[in-house]
Chain A
């Protein structure tokens, strides 16, 4: 398969760019932030996304979706990244849709996927517990209790967890923190007794939640996939999330870069456009190389995931690590090259820096994925 977008994918890219750029530019994020919006994203916009087919992009046809893949999800996420659009696309349309489509029972699929694709259900994946992404270190427990399980533990960085209608929770049914076996995924109603949700407004004005589970009773039907064997399912879902967030980071980094190049062509000092200075030209050119190389690595990982190829895991580690280092460089150079203006809240570049920081932490930063790759390559 050629490492370029197909004609259909290019059309999707054009329509996503048009819709998101028009309806949810950076000003949209500012407005939500400055009005301290209770939801943190626009439900009206999410419905418009659903009508465009974005909510159901990864949902199979029979549940009202379009059954597309990671490349298409990445295309939408790149535009979300370019515009810093707060949207449940990642939590719901990517992570939850993937988990439910892959492992849901017939009943679970028909209960949730149709509503999800229609934009009527927000779902959130609850994995992380500590300060850093370490899925194998999951310590939250799910003990057998009557006909079902009793959940105890705490989750953090549950993206959109503050407004979710459904939680997908990783918990330990056996084994100890650090072990690959013994993990199970559960579908949990956030209104269940014993759940405490604390909205966390983050540095980038996007939202997640810290969620406390105290003796939360769930029945056996709430298990997603198989008991004790959820580790592989979780890793597969996370890999889709990683590859797709990498596209968001490419969009975020590229937009910060493009605004910076424009600034270099407009700002004058010492009687010259600052873009004439070789010190800045070479840094801009280097950053351009980093972005283009990362873009290729990200598309490769998404294609391999869509093909179900065995090399996909290593390619995802490469893509997410590269996206992390590249977007970090892009936003740092953006602020520095904008000079004092880059430090002001009035200019948008700082917002890109904030979003990039959050995306780095989502599902493993560059160091985490470098370590992953080293393990996969046997050193």
Chain B
């Protein structure tokens, strides 16, 4: 089919053969362990040669960020081509070559609000996985009510001096740089005195402290700023207009979180459950109530994948409601929690083990507990429903 993006059938067949030749078999298996995910950064290390080869081959084509312009390290693909690449990767179960908050969150915000100098400075390093980013949004007293944040940035010559504390900073202890919301005008209304600023985590005065979670893991940190000096040129967008950037970025974060989990990848949940529960002579899961619950889950899961596809296509056509990402975030996270409840139920007593090699150190239980944060992080389910009620349904006083 000839389009403004060239012959798409041709692109598909070329992409398919390239992936076939370049995606190592090991990189086509579902992600199970944490080290199966490659995050990049100054201190990055590869867990296998296959992971390294896959990342480098994709990076060299700009396909860590296929739809970004080539001058920023992207692949320069059009929307249809990007969709084809994703479909072809999904068809062989290819892992993401690079996971990155830079790609999912900061990048889109920089592309929209950054100066040309900021884009040229940061985007290629994100695309090549050289710099790992973290997000400084929540504070101890600014969770759902994010705009009440109090971390201060006071002007001092050409710099800002930053003081305050962030919390729930994902992987701050591994990150090289942070994109951060700070209060630059304490006298203004709460949404109007905030700026969006970037700085190096090795700057003097920055420290992090991991938070131990119910999963026994520490994916989040407390992050402290004690007189951190940052050039004013590191503000993205206008000073005191950071809330616009923050909201735009949150839409991308919500779209990302809604896609968490193993949506569409790997074996159907019912087959996974059969490993522990067993199946009858007709191949049906040997627990009719669980089978019904899993089937109902699989239906919602498949439908949500359609909604995600449709949302992307609507956005390309300029017809998507910007607040729809909140609907997706709400639904996707609730569904992912349901998946893990079902996995625990299917696993029975085997899924209760916490410290055995047999259970990969309680992998299933830890993953189950981790998902409980899905409907809290990036805006709680209740906040998401409030946004849908107000911005899409236009209900009064919402």
Contacts and interface: CB of A to CB of B under 8 A. Distances in A.
Interface of A: 2-4, 261, 264-265, 272-273, 275-276, 278, 280-282, 284-286, 288-289, 292-297, 299-300, 314-315, 317-319, 321-322, 325, 366-367, 369-371, 373-375, 377-379
Given A4-B310, A4-B317, A289-B330, A282 B385 contact: yes
Given A282-B386, A297-B302, A379-B268, A371 B310 contact: no
A287 to B, nearest CB: 10
B309 interface: yes
Interface string B301-330: 011101101110110110100001001001
A285 B283 CA distance: 39
A281 B381 CA distance: 13
B343 to A, nearest CB: 14
B397 A273 contact: yes
B334 to A, nearest CB: 9
Contacts of A366: 296, 299
Chain B: interface size category:
35 or more
Contacts of A299: 306, 310
B317 A294 contact: no
B377 interface: no
B395 A374 contact: no
B393 A321 contact: no
A317 B309 contact: no
A278 B393 CA distance: 13
B386 A374 contact: no
Contact of B307 (A296, A315, A377): A296
Nearest to A369: B299
Contacts of A281: 385-386, 389, 393, 395, 398
Contact of A373 (B295, B306, B331, B397): B295
B385 A377 contact: no
B270 interface: yes
Given A3-B306, A288-B393, 9 more contacts: A281-B385, A285-B385, A285-B392, A288-B327, A299-B310, A315-B302, A370-B299, A371-B295, A379-B271
B269 to A, nearest CB: 8
Contacts of A318: 299, 302-303, 306
A144 B385 CA distance: 62
Q: Taking chain A's interface residues, is the majority helix, strand, or loop, or is none over half, making it mixed?
A: helix
B385 A374 contact: no
A253 to B, nearest CB: 14
23 contacts: A261-B393, A276-B397, A278-B386, A281-B393, A282-B389, A284-B389, A284-B395, A285-B388, A288-B392, A293-B331, A297-B302, A299-B310, A300-B306, A321-B299, A322-B299, A370-B296, A373-B299, A374-B270, A374-B285, A374-B295, A377-B298, A379-B283, A379-B291
B396 A273 contact: yes
Contacts of A370: 292, 295-296, 299
A374 B284 contact: yes
A370 B388 CA distance: 29
Contacts of A3: 306, 309-310, 313
Nearest to A314: B302
Interface in B272-302: 273-274, 279, 283-285, 291-292, 294-296, 298-300, 302
Contacts of A325: 296
A379 B309 contact: no
A377 B271 contact: yes
A314 B395 CA distance: 36
A373 B302 CA distance: 10
Contacts of B309: 3, 296, 300
Given A261-B393, A285-B393, A378-B268, A296 B310 contact: yes
A279 to B, nearest CB: 11
Contacts of A278: 386, 398
Contacts of B319: 4
A2 B268 CA distance: 25
Nearest to A323: B303
A122 B314 CA distance: 38
B307 A297 contact: yes
B302 A289 contact: no
Contacts of B274: 379
Nearest to A294: B303
B361 interface: no
Contacts of B299: 317-318, 321-322, 366, 369-370, 373
> Which has the most chain A C-beta neighbours within 10 Å: B306, B388, B396?
B306
> Which has the most chain A C-beta neighbours within 10 Å: B268, B285, B389?
B389
Given A281-B389, A288-B393, A379-B270, A374 B310 contact: no
A342 B388 CA distance: 24
A296 B299 CA distance: 13
Nearest to B389: A281
B393 A293 contact: no
Contacts of A369: 299
A377 B9 CA distance: 29
Contacts of A261: 393, 395
B26 interface: no
A264 B298 contact: no
Contacts of B316: 2
B145 interface: no
B382 interface: yes
Nearest to A276: B397
> Which has the most chain B C-beta neighbours within 10 Å: A272, A369, A374, A378?
A374
Interface in B349-398: 382, 384-386, 388-389, 392-398
A140 B295 CA distance: 31
A246 to B, nearest CB: 11
B294 A379 contact: yes
B3 to A, nearest CB: 11
Contact of B388 (A276, A289, A293, A377): A289
A2 B296 CA distance: 26
Contacts of B317: 2, 4
Nearest to B319: A4
B389 A377 contact: no
A315 B309 CA distance: 14
Nearest to B398: A281
A264 B270 contact: no
B386 A285 contact: yes
B314 A4 contact: yes
Contacts of B307: 292-293, 296-297
Given A292-B324, A370-B296, A377 B268 contact: yes
A288 B316 CA distance: 22
B268 to A, nearest CB: 4
Contacts of B268: 377-379
Contacts of A377: 268, 270-271, 298
A290 to B, nearest CB: 8
B393 A374 contact: no
> Which has the most chain A C-beta neighbours within 10 Å: B284, B300, B386?
B300
B307 to A, nearest CB: 4
A378 B291 CA distance: 11
